[in-house]
């Protein structure tokens, strides 16, 4: 039987004791690093915008065009006319995932948000799972990661090989870094802007995900994990595919060993 994302959230709510003191939802922005996402940007942004419009908090979407060679920037400019809370950050040249994230973080800090919540721009993370981050935000956790490895998480449409490689990599990270999370390489995360302002990450690629966890630990961050369902991107929807390579793993290991 197929379980909907919303059903999963409702089930988790029932299993999680509410905080003793109810607080308002902190302000936050959703950061979308985009590289050649002209075909998926509109659907992704409209879905997120519709969802966050239902929340009782100041929210925005910060879309970072990372030097796309297609029409992603034009799509974003058009969407900004429809969604007034869409902030477009344009990087003239492609700097990589890490650089795009940092550009989004700078914008989040400049606009005075409490949290920056990063999602992929290809629609593989359903906007309904943003709700999972709200409670740990209200409880003032510094670093909140979505995980593919909790009992309430699911992975759909991803090959066994990719799942195995990811699992092994995250197990190694758990051994070396030792913070209370299971999914170190997941880009679906929320970080306090006050913590981001103290971080000095330098990695340009996906290994900045490991780098920022290491720095967060050194800065005394409080970590938290939330479950979600990861779905595979469909062929033709995105050109910015993650590639598992020796170079990527070398960057990961550098931060694990030097930790």
Question: What does the pLDDT look like over 235-248, one tens digit per residue?
Answer: 444 444 444 455 65
pLDDT at 14: 39
- Looking at the chain, the whole-number percentage of residues with pLDDT higher than 90 is 64
| Three-class secondary structure of residue 90 per DSSP | strand
Paired sense of beta strands 86-91 and 154-156, if any = unpaired
The predicted model gives 186-208 an average pLDDT of 95
Identify the domain containing residue 107 by its residue range. Answer: 5-16+23-258
- Tens of pLDDT, residue by residue over 86-101, are 999 999 999 999 999 9
> Which pLDDT does position 152 carry in this prediction?
80
Q: What is the dihedral of CA 175, 179, 180, 186, to 10 degrees?
A: -80
Rounded average pLDDT over 134-142:
97
pTM of the model: 0.82
Mean pLDDT of all residues belonging to the chain: 84
Rounded Cα–Cα distance for residues 123 and 46 (Å):
11
DSSP label at 248?
H
Sign of CA dihedral 49, 50, 51, 55: positive
Q: Check which CATH number belongs to the domain holding 243 and give it.
A: 3.90.550.10
Domain count, the chain: 1
Looking at 134-203, list the stretches that DSSP marks H as alpha helix, in order from N- to C-terminal side.
134-138, 160-177, 193-196
Binned at pLDDT 50, 70 and 90, residue 259 comes out as low
Given pLDDT bands bounded at 50, 70 and 90, which one contains residue 160?
low
């Amino acid at each position: 039987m197929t379980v909907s994302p919303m059903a999963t959230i409702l089930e988790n709510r029932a299993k999680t004791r509410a905080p003793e003191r109810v607080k308002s939802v902190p302000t936050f922005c959703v950061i979308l690093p985009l590289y050649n996402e002209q075909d998926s940007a509109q659907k992704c942004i409209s879905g997120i915008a519709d969802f966050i419009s239902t929340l009782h908090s100041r929210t925005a979407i910060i879309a970072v065009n990372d030097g796309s060679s297609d029409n992603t920037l034009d799509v974003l400019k058009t969407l900004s006319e429809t969604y007034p809370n869409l902030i477009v950050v344009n990087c003239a040249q492609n700097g990589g995932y890490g650089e795009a994230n940092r550009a989004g973080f700078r914008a989040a800090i400049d606009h005075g948000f409490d949290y920056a919540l990063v999602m992929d721009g290809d629609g593989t993370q359903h906007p309904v799972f943003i709700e999972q981050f709200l409670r740990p935000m209200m409880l003032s956790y510094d670093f909140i990661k979505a995980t593919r490895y909790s009992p309430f998480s699911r992975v759909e449409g991803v090959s066994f090989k990719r799942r195995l490689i990811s699992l092994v990599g995250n197990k190694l990270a758990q051994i070396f870094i030792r913070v209370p999370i299971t999914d170190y390489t997941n880009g679906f995360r929320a970080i306090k802007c006050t913590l981001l302002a103290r971080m000095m990450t330098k990695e340009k690629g996906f290994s900045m995900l490991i780098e920022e966890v290491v720095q967060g630990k050194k800065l005394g961050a409080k970590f938290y994990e939330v479950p979600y369902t990861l779905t595979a991107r469909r062929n033709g929807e995105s050109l910015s595919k993650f590639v598992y390579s020796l170079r990527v793993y070398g960057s990961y290991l550098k931060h694990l060993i030097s930790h």
